[in-house]
Amino acid sequence: MTTDILISVKDLKKYFKGDKIKALDGVSVDIHKGEVIVVIGPSGGGKSTFLRSLNLLEMPTSGTITVEGTDITKKKDSSGKKLDLDLHRQKMGMVFQHFNLFPHMTVLENMTLAPTIVKKVPRAEAEAQAMELLARVGLADRAGAYPSQLSGGQKQRVAIVRALCMSPDVMLFDEPTSALDPEMVGEVLDVMKELAESGMTMVVVTHEMGFAREVGSSILFLAQGKLIEEGTPDEIFNHPQSPRLQDFLAKVL
């Protein structure tokens, strides 16, 4: 793993209803290229807000998010030009809890839509890349199927490779298995493990502690909007320091 910082988050705050609800309360973390950051914690602790802030789907109340040297929370870049937020969002693939596939389009059409329209990739090239990615997740034979003809696990695998079609620098996963039937969770986690092994930088919000322990290079424990503890899987799961983390792990492990 290199020491290159891909995303640097400093003193990130997100308040709702004035400052009554502190969804994020001063979170700072550096995400390096090739790292798999796994974010764990209780419901309502700020995990999804943190993840959605990384590509400004959630606008922070204060703090900075620097992506590859550019503070994306500013309206202008360092040269004074208006910041092209869409360009930065293209660098971040996002996979949600629900698959967000277009129901009236085939799997292949879902995957080639953004590359051909947003990045102006020639259709033949976009389709070739999509078929390669579908083969990688064992779904090449489903390219002509519609989302309604797929299982939940298949839809989520398509959602992952659809994000990969944009050749992102980092993949963001917001509880990607929580809407799935238990027997489908494994097939999605296997794809994510393979992605991690290929060197993809990933930030994953999940309740799957086995995945966090096995695949995470760094674990963030968020509760009450604060980053309570950060460390390797061994440090977090085998030697938790804070009482709040110890209490959380006693309930979920």
> Which SS3 state, helix, strand or coil, does residue 146 take?
coil
Residues 6 or more apart whose CB falls under 8 angstroms from that of 19 comprise: none
Angle (deg, nearest 10), helices 182-197 and 152-164: 20
The whole-model pTM stands at: 0.93
Q: Are 1 and 35 in contact (CB under 8 A)?
A: yes
What are the structure tokens assigned to 49, written together?
């807000």
Q: CA distances (Å), 144 to each of 5, 74, 134, 191, in order?
A: 39, 42, 11, 21
HEC readout, 75-112: CECCCCCECCHHHHHHCEEEECCCCCCCCCCCHHHHHH
Q: Distance between CA atoms of 72 and 190, rounded to whole angstroms?
A: 32
pLDDT per position in the chain (253 positions), as tens? Answer: 445 999 999 999 999 988 888 999 999 999 999 999 999 999 999 999 999 999 999 999 999 999 988 899 987 766 777 888 888 888 999 999 888 899 999 999 999 999 999 999 999 999 999 999 999 999 999 999 999 999 999 999 999 999 999 999 999 999 999 989 998 999 999 999 999 999 999 999 999 999 999 999 999 999 999 999 999 999 999 999 999 999 999 999 8
Residues 6 or more apart whose CB falls under 8 angstroms from that of 91 comprise: 67, 68, 168, 169, 170
